[in-house]
Structure 1
Amino acid sequence: MTLVRSADRRRTETPNGVMTTLASPTQGGARTAVWHVDMAPGRTGPLHAFDTEQIWSCLDGAATIDLGGTILTVTPGDTVVMPADVLRQVTTGPSHGFTAVVAAPAGTQAYTPRGHEEPGDLAPKGDERLVPRWAR
């Protein structure tokens, strides 16, 4: 058993949110990556996909999630199971942010399929895939 102290959590800031690693292969030796997501009001994350399933549980605020063309509205207590290889985009409203805890298999890789790139988007493009820092 490994204890990951609050002071040892890894915090990664992106243009659209802050991801705080709670457990991962390099932080606690977990086979499942678990992270905390905080998005400020009026933010839209990049259109992207992951090669593994993810489970998002909303703790606070609200967001709309475009999951493969289906628009979901999530509020505290809601959980979304996001399938592998389905495009997704998370957006917060202008007056509220969004906080969630996410779990995914260790080594989960993010990518943006060719033809779906957006200007200024930091997600990997086409065949380029990477394990996000918060899931390592």
Structure 2
Amino acid sequence: MTVIGYEQTRRFATPAGVMTTLASPTLGGATRPLWRVEMPAGGAGPTHTVDTEQIWTVLSGAATIRLGADEVRIGAGDTLVLAPDVERQVTADATDGLTAIVTSAAGSTAVAAGNRVKPPWAA
């Protein structure tokens, strides 16, 4: 068993919000990374793909997620399973923003604007 204290979590500020690593292969030796996403009201992430499944559970607020040509709205208590390699963009609610917990497979990569990156919050 591993306990990861709040002071051990890692925070990454992005233009879209703050990602906080709660557990990952390099934080507690978890086989799956787990992180919190906090987006301000009206904040939007980049259009991107991720090469592994992601699971989002909304803790508070809401968001509209564009998945290819479709849109889905999620709110507090909802869980969304995102298939790999589907173009997506997350936009937080204009009033309440969004706080969610997210997990994916370890080692996942994202592609945005032609750049392939390994999100540091999932490492």
Shorter-normalised TM range: over 0.9
- The answer to whether structure 1 residue 21 and structure 2 residue 45 are counterparts is no
The corresponding residue for 1:94 is: 94
Q: Secondary structure at the residue paired with 2:117?
A: coil
Q: Secondary structure at the residue paired with 1:62?
A: strand
Q: CA deviation at 1:2?
A: 1.4
The alignment's C-alpha RMSD in Å is: 0.9
TM-score in terms of structure 2 length:
0.96
Q: What is the CA–CA distance in structure 1 between the aligned matches of 2:104 and 2:78, rounded to whole Å?
A: 17
CA displacement 1:76-124 (0-9 Å, x = unmatched): 0111101000011001232220010001111111113xxxx3xxxxxxx
- The answer to whether structure 1 residue 61 and structure 2 residue 61 are counterparts is yes
The corresponding residue for 1:39 is: 39
Structure 1 runs of 4+ with >4 Å offset: none
Q: Which runs of 5+ in 2 are unaligned?
A: none
Aligned residues: 123
The corresponding residue for 1:9 is: 9
Q: Secondary structure at the residue paired with 2:121?
A: helix
Q: Secondary structure at the residue paired with 1:134?
A: helix
Higher strand share: 2
Q: CA deviation at 1:43?
A: 0.9
Q: Which runs of 5+ in 1 are unaligned?
A: 118-124
Q: CA deviation at 1:3?
A: 1.2
Q: What is the CA–CA distance in structure 2 between the aligned matches of 1:66 and 1:83, rounded to whole Å?
A: 13
Q: What is the CA–CA distance in structure 2 between the aligned matches of 1:78 and 1:54, rounded to whole Å?
A: 14
The sequence identity of aligned pairs, in percent, is 50
Q: CA deviation at 1:8?
A: 0.4
Amino acid at match of 1:44: A
The corresponding residue for 2:118 is: 131
